[in-house]
Amino acid sequence: MSSFPESGGFHPLPALLGPVWRDANVRSGPSLDSPVIRLLLPDAAVGYKAEGWSLGDEVVEDQHRDGVITSAVWFRLAIGGWSSAVNFEPETVAVVLADAAPAPSGSQAP
């Protein structure tokens, strides 16, 4: 189970995502069926900023150096459009989404 809210809709969360690690399609919505509006190329000198995130189509990427990445999280980019979380380094995505985790509402019994 994920540690961030699973409710639908857009979740504002301005954050630096850094560069893409692979060629990445930017789409008009958080779905693989949404038209591609831009292609981002890997460049360590070019980072991207998210305006927020939403759940969308699950994407599986098996070419990352650390293994398979699977995510249904899509980021709305400040440059316009949506990009799957799998296009960004998993460590960066984990830090960004940690900010989206709800605060504990009290102690829970084990």
Please give the Cα distance from 59 to 84 (Å, whole number). 7
Q: 18: phi > 0 → left, psi -120 to 50 → alpha, else beta; which?
A: left
Residue 19 DSSP SS3? coil
Give the pLDDT confidence score for residue 54 in this predicted structure. 96
> What contacts 20, CB < 8 A, 6 or more positions away?
40, 41, 42, 48, 83, 87, 88
Where along the chain do its domains lie?
11-98
Task: Inform me whether the pLDDT recorded for 82 exceeds 60.
Answer: yes
Question: How does pLDDT run across 18-58, given as a tens digit for each residue?
Answer: 999 999 999 999 999 999 999 999 999 999 999 999 999 99
